[in-house]
Amino acid sequence: MSRARCTARPFTGGLTTPGTVFEITKTGTETVLHSFGASGEGVQPEAALISVKGTLYGTTSGGGANGSGTVYSITPGGTEKALYSFPGSVYGNGVPVAGLIDVDGTLYGTTKGNGYSSGMVFSITTGGNLKVLHRFGKGHDGAFPAAALLDVNGTLYGTTAGGGKYGRGTVFSVSTAGKEQVLYSFGASGFFDGTSPLSPLIDVHGTLYGTTMQGGAHGQGGAVFSMTTGGTENLVFSFDGSHGSQPLAGLIDVKGMLYGTTSVGGVKNVGTAYSTTTSGEEQVLHSFGKGTDGQSPRASLVEVHGMLYSTTYNGGTNHPRSGGDGTVFALTP
């Protein structure tokens, strides 16, 4: 892979400021493929793109025909098309902030809801035919999914930032036919098991791993946790501030080592990149805030030929008075 194609977060660039799709080489040459903002096409992309047979697919958290976000496709050459606009009513369950996954040619995703609804899990064809698999808010089933789904042998797994038995988030499974099951409700031991998971899960040899934005053994710094597909949760590592705090991003597995980022904490309290073993031996790889390296990483890392890549939400060399508009960075594990 010689270049990556990504989305820029809302309010940060493009011809009309509602976000962009861009590509960047490993040496740092960036090209804008598409600037959002045209009528009905969607604005404010917050999620990663996926590639299906050479076409890229993603979501926007706003805009579209009804103002509640879209699913869109874009060619590597920059031709964008809104495939589906989420309903704009208070019961529309729109606002997708997570990316999509591809399961045998069908795309699956989540929406976090719009304040009056608790979000949903959906499937959509590459032609734009959407089907609601599960609407949250039916008791303790969870609420406000903000992360992409994970496919494990045909069953989809995900997290909700709220809801559940204790109102502090869940890990759930849902079949492709729409049967949803809560595997774990955070808050069973107060804050110690972690609360408010915002990131996707990963599968490491049949065990699921994820992060929570808050909770853990040190209070509200967040945690790394593991989960069996049967619903047994284990706290792997709790952030204490010095090693980072409030991980908004998920994990990646590189040869049995887990890597991630925190949005705050570290030496300058503007985030870290870290590694941890599955048994909880954590190490800070980089503390952000050392000049132009960026601040507040919120996206998961990706691994390309032994190097780790991601983005920061703030910092960098541009517009120093406002704190910078973010960076794309590479990190040696």
Return the structure tokens found at 259. 């890597």
Q: How confident is the model at residue 316 (pLDDT cuts 50, 70, 90)?
A: confident
Q: Is the distance from CB of 200 to CB of 98 less than 8 angstroms?
A: yes
Question: What percent of the chain shows pLDDT beyond 70?
Answer: 91
What is the average per-residue pLDDT within 303-332? 84
Examine the pLDDT at 39 and tell me if it is beyond 50. Answer: yes
**Residue for token digits 């050392």?**
290
The whole-angstrom separation of Cα 286 and Cα 271 is 9
Helix (DSSP H) and strand (DSSP E) numbers for the chain: 0, 26
Q: How confident is the model at residue 265 (pLDDT cuts 50, 70, 90)?
A: very high
pTM above 0.85, yes or no: yes
Examine the pLDDT at 8 and tell me if it is beyond 60. Answer: no
Write down the pLDDT at residue 2: 57
At the topology level of CATH, where does 1-135 sit?
Lipocalin (2.40.128)
The whole-angstrom separation of Cα 266 and Cα 326 is 18
DSSP-based three-state secondary structure for 152: strand
**Residue for token digits 């490491």?**
204
Neighbours of 137 (CB within 10 A): 17
The whole-angstrom separation of Cα 284 and Cα 300 is 15
